[in-house]
Structure 1
Amino acid sequence: MTDPGLSRQLGTADGVIIGLGSMIGAGIFAALAPAAAAAGSGLLIALAVAAVVAYCNATSSARLAARYPASGGTYVYGRERLGEFWGYLAGWGFIVGKTASCAAMALTVGSYVWPGQAHAVAVAAVVAVTGLTCVGVQRTAWATRVIVTIVLAVLAAVLTACLTSPVADAGRLVIGSDATPGGVLQAAGLLFFAFAGYARIATLGEEMRDPTRTIPRAITVALAIALAVYAAVAVAVLMVLGPAMVAAATDPLAQAVAAAGRPWLVPVVRVGAAVAAVGSLLALLLGVSRTTLAMARDRHLPRWLAAVSPRARVPRHAGVAIGTIVAVLAATVDVRGAIGFSSFGVLAYYAIANASAWTLTPAEGRPPRLVPVVGLGGCLLLALFLPVSSVLTGAAVLGLGAVAYALTRRRSTDRPAPR
């Protein structure tokens, strides 16, 4: 049967919403505390470092997405610009890294909705969201729009409560002696986990209308909004709690509004956190399933994962397979460990994106030369300064992917030619 292909139903606004659904949900409620634990009073510097690297990555990705508007993101860019192996490695890093992100987001839902049964709630969330991704991308985009609206409203309430509180003290923003270069870089790497949501826009290349125009616009707008929101919330929370209390908190935004004298806002923040994590999980599953689809089309993954539903026009097999793996992880893993592992895989993915952007010619829309250089160097540096366990595990998983690629290539070359 002929592959019906994916349907181009999404515009610029849809792309922005999908990117925001992933970035805001992941960063504000999941990455702030572990980043503060690493950077101490250098948290805002870490945020700025992560923002610079994210900007370079987004610029390189936008130029490449306009050139290659197909599902798969950097898997496609690396394959076309650097060779098949580098494309494969980017796709492998994205799938394993973002699968861990999905588990982290599902566990965030569980920890806010029902802390005593966080794993069970996480699995239920994965099942529900996987079902939503299988009914059609337009419905998914609509659901993400509702989620982002709710989350932004909750964050506006947090900002208002913190900035108008009598306990807010700008002195807590001053960089102290506990901020070290290594700690700042590690925190920037952990915060990068939150900034990588714009990758979901690029991986939906086959479902965007006029992708050469809409994808770069959507990536730029989504990243700019996320940066503004991150900076404002980080400043407000630090002014109320200070870096030490943020680092120790499992729910820093909820603790911030309570300390600001607005305890009635705590349940609102908890609901907002759960909704944000669901939105992030939804956007993540979309991106991972599309990269899986692209790799399966090229036979780097089982071919049945490339099937597209004739009616809904979505990669249903890939979506269900990824959802199943995420559900298993959500039942067993730890949130903070998943964030570090995810950051390593995604930083490797964007390192390949920047290397690919370097090879573009001016006629192909090459970004300024400094952009891919800073992006590539920044990705490698932040990856190396992540927690040691994340670096070792991430490197081992990338190595396993490289071995699998070599074995697959050997089997294909050893196969006798048809007569």
Structure 2
Amino acid sequence: MTSDGRLARRLGTTDAVAIGLGSMIGAGVFSVFAPAAGAAGSALVLALAIAALVAWCNALASAQLAAQYPTSGGTYVYGRERLGPWWGFFAGWGFVFGKTASCAAMATTVAVYVAPAGWSRPVAVVVVLAVGLIDALGVSRTATATRIIVACSLAVLALVAVAGAASGRFTAVPPLEWVPHGPYGVLQAAGLLFFAFAGYARIATMGEEVREPARTIPRAITISLSVALLVYLGVAVLTLGVLGPRALASASAPLAQTAAAGGWAWTGPVVAAGAALAASGALLALMAGIGRTTLAMARERDLPHWFAAVHPRYRVPHCAHYVLIAVVCVLVLVVDLRNAIGFSSFGVLLYYFTANAAAITQSRARRRMPRWANALGALGCVVLAAALPVTAVVGGVAVMALGLAVRLVSLRLRR
């Protein structure tokens, strides 16, 4: 930590890619494909393509903004700098509440795979406490642990691919064979699948801790998103082909069932361990990203200023981190996985809408993509957010309105 309270630049490209992949692989592969298939049916791959297009536009917008503003906070900072303080708060608050819900979803995913019957919620609390402790020990340990987890997760996915392909049950599924909810269902599935992509710009929220940020951040975002897209596409095609769209939609553990389809029952515990490990990796990176955004908002007094405190030894925003741990522990005791995914997607789509709007205002010298691509990304965020389950939309609007109202009252009291 420097004498002015700023964070230390310790992360290189490999670390940044690992954190991005750790945020995506665990979030998507093991938790979101079944509910997405329930909405889109055999058009799951089409929904994935829509989600990937919106994510790609968002990723490029985040990359060009991060190169210009290499500090902690991500789109919260970009919104403030390019559009004004209210836009910054809109993005930062959407990120904080959306990603806090993501943390609950990841902890719950771990518990679903490894906890005995009836013990999933207590186990999820233990997971939050354990992962929170790792994050509290500093960003270098976070990056190292995430890199190990990503490697193990990809190895498990490779096992699932081999077992599924060897089952002899793979059948190509026409994309319009069974679409239970029509075009709306496809868009809703795309919105849910966006939850799986939303980790690609996690490193942008940690821009103050990256070496050579103008070069490292865009490169890491591009690499991590490309790898995750290839993994998701392979998993979507494999699970659809082996299980079929209806069975996939109702599967509690679709990857384990895909691997076991050819009689490889021994793969069940291995896949469960891989799912728990991958979700833990996503939780690790998520908590780090939320802490840095909270730090940036606290510096501007959009959140209580004591959240800006940085630990003198471990160089992490420890006050914000401990509050986050407590909130996520409460959430895992009261929410279910599907609601957490929808609520998270809504908040994060608002966050990336702001990123695209901010990127539109950048000068030609700062741009990495044409303005029409930023406009397409912003429109895509609005469409996917509106298509999410009604409970997610209503809850998200209510929480966003509450945050805006509290900020308004706080500003007036200060004056």
TM-score (norm 1): 0.97
Question: SS at 1:311's partner residue?
Answer: coil
Whether the aligned pair in 2 keeps the contact of 1:360 and 1:366 (CA below 8 Å) is no
Moved over 6 A (4+): none
Match of 2:202 in 1: 200
Counterpart Cα distance in 2 of 1:361 and 1:199: 21
Alignment of 1:10-409 (within 5 A): 10-116=11-117, 117-170=119-172, 172-178=173-179, 180-365=182-367, 367-409=369-411
Counterpart Cα distance in 2 of 1:87 and 1:127: 30
Deviation at 1:177, TM superposition (A): 4.4
Deviation at 1:3, TM superposition (A): 4.2
Counterpart Cα distance in 2 of 1:3 and 1:325: 29
User: Which AA in structure 2 matches 1:119?
Assistant: R
Whether the aligned pair in 2 keeps the contact of 1:358 and 1:366 (CA below 8 Å) is no
Whether the aligned pair in 1 keeps the contact of 2:106 and 2:282 (CA below 8 Å) is yes
User: Which AA in structure 1 matches 2:131?
Assistant: V
Whether the aligned pair in 1 keeps the contact of 2:164 and 2:260 (CA below 8 Å) is no
Deviation at 1:411, TM superposition (A): 1.4
> What percentage of aligned pairs have identical amino acids?
58
Whether the aligned pair in 2 keeps the contact of 1:53 and 1:379 (CA below 8 Å) is yes
Counterpart Cα distance in 2 of 1:88 and 1:199: 18
Deviation at 1:324, TM superposition (A): 0.9
Deviation at 1:367, TM superposition (A): 2.1
Deviation at 1:265, TM superposition (A): 0.8
Counterpart Cα distance in 1 of 2:412 and 2:352: 27
Whether the aligned pair in 2 keeps the contact of 1:101 and 1:338 (CA below 8 Å) is yes
Deviation at 1:2, TM superposition (A): 5.6
Whether the aligned pair in 2 keeps the contact of 1:21 and 1:148 (CA below 8 Å) is yes
Whether the aligned pair in 1 keeps the contact of 2:191 and 2:388 (CA below 8 Å) is yes
Deviation at 1:377, TM superposition (A): 0.3
TM-score (norm 2): 0.97
User: Which AA in structure 2 matches 1:277?
Assistant: A
Deviation at 1:310, TM superposition (A): 1.2
Question: SS at 2:252's partner residue?
Answer: coil
Whether the aligned pair in 2 keeps the contact of 1:161 and 1:260 (CA below 8 Å) is yes
Question: SS at 2:334's partner residue?
Answer: coil
User: Which AA in structure 1 matches 2:239?
Assistant: V
Deviation at 1:240, TM superposition (A): 0.5
- The CA RMSD over aligned residues, in Å, is 1.2
Match of 1:417 in 2: none
User: Which AA in structure 1 matches 2:166?
Assistant: T
Counterpart Cα distance in 2 of 1:352 and 1:371: 14
CA deviations 1:133-152 (Å, max 9, x no partner) are 11111011000011000000
Counterpart Cα distance in 1 of 2:178 and 2:161: 27
Whether the aligned pair in 2 keeps the contact of 1:102 and 1:284 (CA below 8 Å) is yes
Counterpart Cα distance in 1 of 2:264 and 2:358: 49
User: Which AA in structure 2 matches 1:307?
Assistant: A
Question: SS at 2:315's partner residue?
Answer: coil
Counterpart Cα distance in 2 of 1:260 and 1:20: 29
Distance 1:264 1:2, change over 3 A: same
Counterpart Cα distance in 2 of 1:316 and 1:3: 16
Q: Give ranges in structure 1 of 5+ residues lacking alignment.
A: 414-419
Whether the aligned pair in 1 keeps the contact of 2:59 and 2:221 (CA below 8 Å) is yes
Deviation at 1:390, TM superposition (A): 0.5
Counterpart Cα distance in 1 of 2:165 and 2:291: 40
Question: SS at 1:162's partner residue?
Answer: helix
CA deviations 1:268-298 (Å, max 9, x no partner) are 1000000011001001000001000100111
User: Which AA in structure 1 matches 2:226?
Assistant: A
Deviation at 1:115, TM superposition (A): 4.2
Q: Give ranges in structure 2 of 5+ residues lacking alignment.
A: none
Whether the aligned pair in 2 keeps the contact of 1:173 and 1:235 (CA below 8 Å) is no
Whether the aligned pair in 2 keeps the contact of 1:8 and 1:207 (CA below 8 Å) is yes
After TM superposition, the structure 1 stretch with the greater mean CA deviation from structure 2, 19-28 or 322-331, is 322-331
User: Which AA in structure 1 matches 2:16?
Assistant: G
Deviation at 1:174, TM superposition (A): 3.8
Counterpart Cα distance in 2 of 1:318 and 1:173: 48
Counterpart Cα distance in 1 of 2:258 and 2:174: 15
User: Which AA in structure 1 matches 2:80?
Assistant: R
Question: SS at 1:212's partner residue?
Answer: helix
Counterpart Cα distance in 1 of 2:133 and 2:40: 39
